[in-house]
Amino acid sequence: MDQLNAIKPKGKKWKWINKEIFEDTAKSLGLKESRIKHVFEGKTKSMIDSIILSSAERYYKSDTVIKKKMIGIVRSFAEKGQKVVIGLGSTIICRDIKKSLHIRLQAPIGWRVEKLLRKRVKAFLK
């Protein structure tokens, strides 16, 4: 970001957004951040889980409502400009915004293998 901001020091500053956006979405929907993360980790809920959640939360929000809100927040940040949105399906969400640049970031293979191994070991030990 420092290099981008150095190009036009008096202009609007560049900022980056990643999973910290879960916090904004949770606040706007009145939910816990863990509930928002659960939706975007791709985990599916059973019918029983949905019933329990709907009775446990004062204002139940479906996964669809959460996803739409998250999309709206990511898009509003992107439309303001000078934002680097990392992940979160930003390429799809922001595909029709003019004067935008989409770059695929890919972690080194060693890091990805290590992360996968940790995840598998953790699941195995449960």
Greater pLDDT, 114 or 90:
114
73 contacts 28 by C-beta, under 8 angstroms: yes
Alpha helical stretches, state H, the chain: 2-7, 21-29, 33-40, 47-56, 63-80, 90-93, 109-125
Residue 5 and residue 29: Cα distance in Å, rounded?
33
Strand partners, 84: 16
Residue 83 has φ and ψ, to the nearest 5°, of: -125, 140
For the ranges 1-10, 76-85, 95-104, the lowest mean pLDDT is seen at 1-10
Residue 113 — very low, low, confident or very high, per pLDDT cuts 50/70/90?
A: very high
Look up the domain containing 76 and give its range: 2-125
What pLDDT was estimated at residue 114? 96
How many folded domains does the chain comprise? 1
Residue whose C-alpha is closest to residue 97's, from 68, 71, 65: 71
